[in-house]
């Protein structure tokens, strides 16, 4: 039955492989859940959840610094609003297309349900590439993007955030435009600057959360992160703060990457080196390659921009204990997964969304390593966005300690829910099944209560 549902989805949208991949993974987890809840089958909950409530596609024209008119495509996928306003990031990257954003919006439905905060699922973005653009170009692009998007979003309707290529700078320009168009101040975007309604800890939240989730997984084996050698991919928002938290907890981070290549520093990317990376990526907007020029003992390996190695990714081929993929989707293929195991890695906590291909996930599950799928492990980002929305709604702001404590507790709860659901449905310690089942059940219950809408 679920196979039939899956096949009809593939037939309907054949050119969306990432969306198929994300749906397949969830459907494979749901057989035993639906056996216990036949009412969800007859109400066609699965068929309804895989069809977004609304898809908006729009033109984004803008003028570059040389006076040329450029045209990009903008998207917003409003996937599911059963438990709260649509919530999910905006991605600006040349690889962005409808299938990728549908996969991200679909994942977001379950992830948001796991946080325990009332947020539905959404995602959006554009094939615009902020890399190499001036601030003025980025501002004009963001203004044009929001001139269309503003019709569809609002603090209780749809609340976008950042994702790849959308950080504090972009959120600022997007918020400024929304406010001008609406003549209203409201918590319509999260990831805002502290000066205008942002939350402390929001920039740190996804990376910190992935490490808190790892800590919880390690606890089930009576271990912690002290002295663990960790592979981290990416060098953006998630990677930077995952690395920072690993350092704080006594681990040693030995890799980072960007879309051009990866670095390996066996001595560890300590606090000082990480500060340098943050300045490189966030202020100078440079390339990770420069790390190997700056720090002796570190090596750099290049790969094709936007075409990470299909054969294998050298970043995953070092001796280590833990891995925190924090760059992008499908960055661990089957060979990488085998390399990780061969090199001693027994914990993978996904900061990125869907960084592991299905064959890789199977290898992790067969090997019974501690494997935290992105849906659970990286939910700290959206959870803290939820905390930002709460602070905006009451015109207040909480201290760093308070937000961090709430984030930590949310990650502990997500781990506990996923673990309990994995046990209930006969696969103890399988966090893929546990996270999918626990997230699905919350959304399904809400959809049942609200009728066929
Ligand atoms: P950033 O844009 O800050 O960083 C992304 C990093 O990944 C950069 O180092 C980038 O390199 C690299 N990268 C991007 N695309 C590719 C590619 N095709 N191949 C190799 N490297 C690539 O984004 P975030 O850190 O915010 O996001 C990283 C991941 O985490 C994404 O999967 C995102 O969906 C996920 N995530 C983010 C959340 C958040 O709160 N920001 C929340 C939950 C999940 P370069 O510098 O060259 O662009």
Q: Where are the domains of the chain?
A: 2-184, 205-372
Does the C-beta of 251 come closer than 6 Å to ligand 1?
Answer: no
CA distances (Å), 230 to each of 139, 318, 376, 390, in order? 37, 10, 19, 34
Q: In the annotation, is 428 catalytic? A: no
Secondary structure (DSSP) of 78-118: EEE-SSSSEEEEEEE-TT--HHHHHHHHHHHHHHHHHHTS-
With a 6 Å cutoff on the Cβ, whether 162 touches ligand 1 is: yes
Nearest CA to ligand 1 atom 20: 259
- Mean pLDDT, residues 224-232: 98
Distance separating alpha carbons of residues 351 and 373, to the nearest angstrom = 9
Mean pLDDT of the region 13-42? 96
Q: Has residue 372 got a pLDDT over 90? A: yes
- Report in angstroms the alpha-carbon separations of 297 from 250, 267, 294: 21, 8, 10
pLDDT of amino acid 414: 98
Pairing of strands 261-264, 255-258: antiparallel
What fold is seen in the domain 2-184? Rossmann fold (3.40.50)
pLDDT > 70? residue 306: no
pLDDT tier at 141 (50, 70, 90 boundaries)? Answer: very high
Quick one: pLDDT band at residue 308, thresholds 50, 70, 90?
low
Helices (H) and strands (E) in the chain, counts: 17, 13
Q: What is the mean pLDDT of the chain?
A: 96
Query: How many whole angstroms from 352 Cα to the centroid of ligand 1?
Result: 7
Q: Using the predicted structure, report yes or no on whether residue 305 has a pLDDT greater than 80.
A: no
Q: In the prediction, which pLDDT does 312 show?
A: 85
Q: Give the residue-averaged pLDDT of 315-325.
A: 97
pLDDT at residue number 310: 63
The alpha carbon of 426 and the centre of ligand 1 are apart by a number of angstroms equal to 34
Question: What's the pLDDT at 253?
Answer: 98
Mean pLDDT, residues 432-448: 98
How many angstroms separate the alpha carbon of residue 2 from the centre of ligand 1? Answer: 32
Q: Which residues does 365 contact at the CB level (< 8 Å), separation at least 6?
A: 371, 430, 432
Residue 252 above 70 pLDDT?
A: yes
Task: Kindly report the pTM of this predicted structure.
Answer: 0.95
Instruction: Using pLDDT thresholds of 50, 70 and 90, give the confidence band for residue 311.
Output: confident
pLDDT at 211 over 60: yes
Q: Which of 123, 192, 281, 442 is catalytic?
A: 123
Confidence at residue 303, expressed as pLDDT on a 0 to 100 scale: 86
- For ligand 1, the distance from its centroid to the CA atom of residue 170, given in whole angstroms, is 15
Cβ(350) – ligand 1 distance below 6 Å: no
Q: Is 353 in the pocket of ligand 1 (CB under 6 A)?
A: yes
Query: From ligand 1's centre to the CA of 258, what distance in Å?
Result: 8
Summarize pLDDT for 87-128 with one digit per residue, the tens. 999 999 999 999 999 999 999 999 999 999 999 999 999 999
Pocket flag, ligand 1, residue 163 (CB < 6 Å)? yes
For residue 304, the model assigns a pLDDT of 67
Mean pLDDT across 379-407: 97
Put residue 344 in one of left, alpha, beta given phi > 0 → left and psi -120 to 50 → alpha. Answer: left
Between CA 41 and CA 34 the distance in angstroms is 7
**Helix-helix angle 380-393:400-424, to 10 degrees:** 130
What separation, in Å, do the N-terminal and C-terminal C-alpha atoms of the chain show?
23
Q: Which of 259, 286, 329, 332 to mutate to test the pocket of ligand 1 (most atoms within 8 A of CB)?
A: 259
**Ligand 1 atom closest to Cα of 351?**
30
> Residue 356 has what DSSP assignment?
B
Q: Is residue 1 very low, low, confident or very high in pLDDT (cuts 50, 70, 90)?
A: low
Using alpha carbons, list the distances in angstroms from residue 31 to 25, 195, 290.
11, 48, 49
- Average pLDDT of the residues in 330-358: 97
CATH architecture of the region 205-372: 3-Layer(aba) Sandwich (3.40)
CB of residue 417 inside a 6 A radius of ligand 1: no
Residue 307 pLDDT grade (very low, low, confident, very high; cuts 50, 70, 90): low
> In CATH terms, are 2-184 and 205-372 the same topology?
yes
């Amino acid at each position: 039955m679920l196979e039939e549902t899956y096949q009809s989805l593939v037939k309907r949208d054949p050119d969306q492989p990432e969306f198929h991949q994300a749906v397949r993974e969830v459907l494979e987890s749901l057989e035993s859940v639906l056996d216990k809840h036949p009412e969800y089958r007859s109400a066609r909950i699965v068929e309804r959840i895989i069809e977004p409530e609304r898809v908006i596609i729009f033109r984004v024209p803008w003028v570059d610094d040389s006076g040329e008119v450029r045209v990009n495509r903008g998207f917003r996928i409003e996937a599911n609003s059963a438990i709260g306003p649509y919530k999910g990031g905006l991605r600006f990257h040349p690889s962005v297309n409808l299938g990728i954003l549908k996969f991200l919006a679909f994942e977001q439905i379950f992830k948001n349900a796991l946080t325990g905060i009332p947020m539905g699922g959404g995602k959006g973005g554009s094939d615009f590439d902020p890399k190499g653009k001036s601030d003025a170009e980025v501002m004009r692009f963001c203004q044009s993007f929001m001139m269309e998007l503003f019709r569809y979003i609002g603090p209780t309707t749809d609340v976008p955030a950042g994702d790849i290529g959308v950080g504090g700078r972009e959120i600022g320009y997007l918020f400024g435009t929304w406010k001008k168009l609406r003549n209203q101040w409201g918590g319509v975007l999260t990831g805002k600057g502290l000066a205008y309604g942002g939350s402390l800890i929001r920039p740190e939240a996804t990376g910190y959360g992935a490490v808190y989730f790892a800590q919880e997984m390690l606890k089930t084996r009576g271990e912690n992160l002290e002295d663990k050698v960790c592979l981290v991919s990416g060098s953006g928002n998630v990677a930077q703060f995952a690395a920072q938290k690993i350092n704080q907890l006594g681990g040693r981070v030995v890799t980072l990457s960007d879309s051009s290549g990866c670095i390996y520093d066996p001595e560890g990317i300590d606090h000082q080196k990480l500060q340098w990376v943050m300045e490189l990526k966030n202020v100078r907007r440079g390339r990770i390659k420069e790390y190997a020029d700056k720090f002796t003992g570190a090596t750099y390996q290049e790969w094709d921009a936007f075409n990470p190695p299909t054969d294998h990714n050298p970043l995953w081929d070092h001796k280590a204990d833990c891995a925190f993929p924090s760059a992008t989707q499908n960055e661990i293929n089957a060979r990488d997964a085998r390399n990780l195991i061969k090199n001693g890695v027994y914990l993978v906590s996904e900061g990125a969304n869907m960084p592991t291909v299905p064959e890789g996930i199977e290898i992790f599950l067969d090997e019974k390593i501690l494997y935290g799928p992105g849906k659970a492990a990286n939910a700290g980002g959206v959870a803290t966005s939820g905390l930002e929305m709460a602070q905006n709604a009451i015109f207040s702001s909480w201290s760093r300690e308070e937000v961090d404590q709430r984030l930590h507790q949310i990650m502990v709860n997500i781990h506990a829910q996923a673990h309990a659901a994995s046990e209930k449905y006969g696969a103890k310690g399988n966090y893929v099944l546990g996270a999918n089942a626990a997230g699905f059940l919350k959304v399904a219950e809400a959809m049942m209560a609200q009728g066929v809408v």
